[in-house]
Structure 1
Amino acid sequence: MSILDLFSLTGKVSIITGGERGIGLAIAKGLAEAGSDIVIAGIDEQNLETAAEEIQALGVTCMAVKTDVTDEGQVRDMVNAVCDTYGHIDVLVNNAGSGRGKAAEEMSEEDFKWVMDINLTSQFLVSKAVGNVMLRQQKGSIVNIASMSGVIANNPQPQCNYNTSKAGSIMLTKSLACEWAGRGVRVNAINPGYTKTALIEKRLSNEDPILEDWLRFTPMHRFGVPEELVGAALYLVSDASSFTTGTTITVDGGYTCW
Structure 2
Amino acid sequence: MMDAKGQKRLEGRIAVITGAGAGIGKGCAAMFAAQGAIVYGLDRNAAGLEATKSEAGINFIPRTVDLLDEKAAENVIAEIGTAHGRIDILVPAAAFSLFAWIDEMSYDQWRKTLAGELDIVFLVTRAAWPYLKASGKGSIINFASANSHVALDGSPALAHCAGKGGILAMTRQLAMEGAPHGIRANSIAPGLILTEQTARHMQMDAEFEGKAMQKMMIKRIGRPEDIAWCAVWLGSDESTYVTAADISIDGGATAW
Structure-2-length-normalised TM-score: 0.93
Pairs within 5 Å for 1:170-185? 170-185=168-183
Q: Amino acid of the residue matched to residue 44 of structure 2? A: I
* Contact preservation (8 Å) 1:203, 1:211: no
Matches of 1:40 and 1:91, distance apart in 2: 12
Verify the 8 A CA contact 2:17 2:90 in the aligned structure 1.
yes
What residue is the counterpart of 1:47 in the other structure?
48
- CA distance in 2 between counterparts of 1:175 and 1:204 reads 35
**Match in the other structure for 1:251:** 249
Deviation at 1:252, TM superposition (A): 0.4
Moved more, 35-44 or 206-215: 206-215
1:33-81 CA distances to partner (integer Å, 9 max, x unpaired)? 111011000010111122123212xxx4322111212221111011012
Deviation string for 1:92-136 (max 9, x for gaps)? 101001221111111111111111111111111111111121123
Identity of aligned residues (%): 28
Indicate yes or no: 2:34 matched with 1:12.
Answer: no
Residue 214, structure 1, aligned to residue 215, structure 2: no
Return 5+ residue gaps in structure 1 as ranges.
none
Amino acid at match of 2:18: T
Deviation at 1:207, TM superposition (A): 6.2
Q: Which residue of 1 aligns with 2:86?
A: 88
Give 2:13's aligned amino acid: K
> What RMSD over aligned residues (CA atoms) do the two structures have, in Å?
1.9
Are residues 1:196 and 2:194 paired?
yes
Amino acid at match of 1:235: W
Q: Distance in 2 between matches of 1:139 and 1:222?
A: 35
* Number of residue pairs the alignment of both structures matches: 252
CA distance in 1, matches of 2:234, 2:59: 22
More divergent stretch after superposition (69-78 vs 232-241) = 69-78
- Residue identity opposite 1:256 in structure 2: T
Structure 2 Cα separation of the partners of residues 184 and 13 of structure 1: 16
Give the TM-score, by structure 1 length: 0.92
* Separation in 1, partners of 2:173, 2:104: 32
Which sections of structure 2, spanning at least 5 residues, go unmatched? none
